[in-house]
Amino acid sequence: MRILICGINYAPELIGVGKFSSELAEWLVAQGHEVSVVAAPPYYPAWRVERPYSAWHYRREVRAGVRIWRCPVWVPSRPTGLKRLLHLLSFTTSSLPVMVTRIFARPDVVIAIEPPLFCAPTAWLVAKFARAKCWLHIQDFEIDAGFELGLFRRPTIHRTIMALETWLMRRFDVVSTISKAMQTRLGSKGVTASKQVFFPNWVDTRRIYPLEGVNPLRAEYAIPDGVKVVMYSGNMGQKQGLELVIEAARTTIGEDDIIYVMCGSGAAYQRLRSSSEGLSNMRWLPLQLTERLNLLLNLADIHVLPQRAEIADLVMPSKLTGMMASGRPVVACAQAGTQLAEVIKGCGVSVPPGDATALAAALSSLARDAEKRTELGRQARAYAWKYFRKPAIMAGFEYQLSLLKETGQLDRVTTQVIEESALD
């Protein structure tokens, strides 16, 4: 098949949507398909384009057999609601001429990755002119989340964008998303069940796995033996609610056997780090290269996954797959009944979002219970192996993609089996 993917984020971004989009494209190439990608230069999560890339020039490259067109994008150093909109619009505008030229390459399927939603109109139009099937994959309901978090406040803008989103979704041949709760939201937006596909994020369980013995990163980062590591690793932005982890660290400042490790980057990094000044039980690390990711995840005795209550079931944190595959328990901020709480049941502990006291208590209790940590970690690894394994998820996606191209239909039986197993 000839496949065209349009999405703002792509490798060499290490985390988030770009990581999964690039792994998807590279997998499809490895299966013998011809894949082209239209994306921005890498800028996430630091919100800064690094050399040799430029924010202002077009560029063509090939990575792992994938042909990539990089399109200019304006990247604000301090993204606010309005600035984020302008940022996305800049990519939508610059990518339009490149996407139009891809019509003549006659793709069989055009895939739009959301966020951003603004990629969807162009992808849909290109698919129609190329007589290709069009597939929208939603990693994050960023419009809903933006309004819930107060990034966008004007009711007129809200109504206009939501109406556009609903109109667009109904016109795609397939709309997929990464959790059952998010799939339910698709129905509320008018996407019929016959067009919905459950396509969860994945983890390479051969590269992320539990390590035995002393982790060399302990010596590298001067973490004493016997001290339990509570770790957050990933994007540091508004949706994560990382202020809660800092408050939990402040609450447990006198507990010398616990240390908090914050690894990552993002729009809120400087503000968060400044607010933690004076906390001797916190360490701040930069994002780690892929080659060191398994070591990093295994440095944790407990993974912490904060999430703001406003965006429950609007996103499913992509970092969860790696946390669980590492065989470590997860303490997550999630209300009972939400998708996140259901997934980590038996693999970790849920505490109410926004409650720093409850978070600190759960972390302290688990840090002192080695037997419980071991059992929860074992269950987490088993869950990742059963439901998040990369080959199985990718093969299911490729099968549905091929069926769509050949028949214009999806295999509803296969899709239903995948949906039910993910909730087992």
DSSP run (H or E) holding 174: strand 174-177
- Confidence check: pLDDT of 423 > 70: no
Q: What is the dihedral of CA 271, 48, 121, 143, to 10 degrees?
A: 0
How high is the pLDDT of residue 81?
72
Q: How many helices (H) and strands (E) does the chain have?
A: 16, 14
Q: What is the pLDDT of residue 151?
A: 60
Residue 29 pLDDT exceeds 80: yes
The strands making up 196-198's β-sheet, listed across from edge to edge, are 59-63, 66-70, 34-39, 2-6, 109-114, 133-138, 174-177, 196-198
User: Does residue 140 contact residue 17 with C-beta atoms inside 8 Å?
Assistant: yes
CA distance 24 to 22: 5
Q: What percent of the chain has pLDDT over 70?
A: 94
In the chain, what are the domains? 2-202+389-422 (3.40.50.2000), 216-387 (3.40.50.2000)
Q: Which residues contact 10 (CB under 8 A, 6 or more apart)?
A: 18, 21, 22, 25, 37, 39, 40, 42, 68
Nearest to 171, CA basis, from 133, 216, 211, 207:
133
Confirm if 153 and 81 have CB atoms less than 8 A apart: yes
CB 92 within 8 A of CB 122: yes
Tell me the whole-structure pTM to 2 decimals: 0.91
Cβ atoms 111, 33 nearer than 8 A: no
Contact 313, 320 (CB under 8 A): no
State pLDDT tens for residues 270-311.
999 999 999 999 999 999 989 999 999 999 999 999 988 777
Average pLDDT, the chain: 90
How many residues belong to the chain?
A: 424
pLDDT tens string 235-266: 998 767 899 999 999 999 888 899 999 999 98
327 Cβ contact list (under 8 Å, min separation 6): 209, 210, 298, 377, 378, 380, 381
d(C-alpha 149, C-alpha 265), whole Å: 20
Average pLDDT over residues 4-14: 96
pLDDT tens track for 91-150: 999 999 999 999 999 999 999 999 888 889 999 999 999 999 999 999 988 777 766 666
